[in-house]
């Protein structure tokens, strides 16, 4: 094997750091009949991406549970409490991929372990590689997007309140959306 071949193989997979200032981790959940939207403001991670051999790609992301922000301080305090995320005992949410499988085009399934509230479940994160571009300062950035529904009860987030008219205050399904720019 020549030195040139080793270099090409070694650089095929790029390790990218998530650029938090240009990325979003958001969610929405039903509250009564409407939807409450929120975000996590503090997260970090890496994406090892190899477009020519996606099976060797990896994702590792950690979100600080206490950074939850729905725009309503009292609600955020409740979400940080033992009723929901219990950030004193479970300060992070974490996703670590175990495999990446191409679905065609720029679409991939990143299977892995998602830990929320001390509960780890295997999930499949359907992701799209949007592309790579160079910013005005010469930094190469790659963009990935993903969206998936999660059942909060699967992760021990079971607090709710029954309504007089039937049903519950907070829906079980949480729609999570990720727009990640990495460098």
Give the mean model confidence (pLDDT) for residues 131-142.
Answer: 93
Q: What percent of the chain has pLDDT over 70?
A: 91
CA angle at 164 for the pair 161 and 170, rounded to the nearest 5°: 30
**Res. 3: pLDDT tops 60:** no
**What DSSP letter does each residue of 137-163 carry, written as one string?**
TS-EEEEEEEEEEEEGGGGT-----B-
Q: Kindly indicate the confidence band of residue 5, based on its pLDDT and cuts at 50, 70 and 90.
A: very low
Q: Examine the pLDDT at 4 and tell me if it is beyond 70.
A: no
User: What mean pLDDT is predicted for residues 24-40?
Assistant: 90
At residue 10, does pLDDT exceed 90? no
Q: CA torsion angle for 145, 147, 153, 157 (degrees, to 10)?
A: 40
Q: What is the C-alpha separation between 129 and 131, in angstroms, rounded?
A: 6
Q: What percent of the chain has pLDDT over 90?
A: 78
| Per-residue confidence band for 12, with pLDDT thresholds at 50, 70 and 90 | low
What is the Cα–Cα distance from 19 to 67, expressed in whole angstroms? 16
Question: Taking 60 as the threshold, does the pLDDT of residue 1 lie above it?
Answer: no
* pTM (predicted TM-score): 0.88
Q: What is the CATH T-level fold of the domain 13-182, as seen in this structure?
A: Lipocalin (2.40.128)
Mean pLDDT, all residues of the chain: 90
> Where are the domains positioned within the chain?
13-182
Among candidate residues 18, 24, 35, the one with its CA nearest the CA of residue 178 = 24
pLDDT value of residue 36: 92
* Surface-to-core class of residue 4, CB atoms within 10 Å of its CB (0-12 exposed, 13-18 middle, 19+ buried): exposed
Lookup: tokens for 53: 């051999």
DSSP state of 77: H
């Amino acid at each position: 094997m020549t030195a040139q071949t080793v270099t090409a193989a070694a650089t095929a997979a790029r390790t990218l750091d998530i650029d938090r200032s240009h990325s979003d981790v958001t969610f929405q959940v039903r509250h009564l009949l409407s939807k409450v939207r929120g975000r996590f403001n503090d997260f970090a991670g890496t994406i090892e991406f190899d477009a020519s051999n996606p099976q060797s790609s990896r994702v590792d992301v950690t979100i600080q549970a206490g950074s939850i922000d729905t725009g309503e301080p009292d609600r955020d305090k409740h979400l940080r409490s033992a009723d929901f995320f219990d950030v004193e005992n479970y300060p992070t949410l974490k996703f670590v991929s175990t495999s990446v499988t191409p679905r065609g085009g720029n679409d991939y399934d990143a299977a892995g372990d998602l830990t929320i509230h001390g509960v780890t479940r295997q999930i499949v994160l359907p992701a799209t590689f949007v592309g790579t571009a160079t910013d005005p300062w010469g930094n190469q950035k790659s963009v990935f997007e993903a969206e998936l529904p999660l059942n909060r009860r699967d992760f021990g987030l079971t607090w709710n309140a029954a309504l007089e008219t039937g049903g519950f205050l907070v829906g079980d399904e949480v729609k999570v959306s990720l727009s990640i720019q990495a460098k």
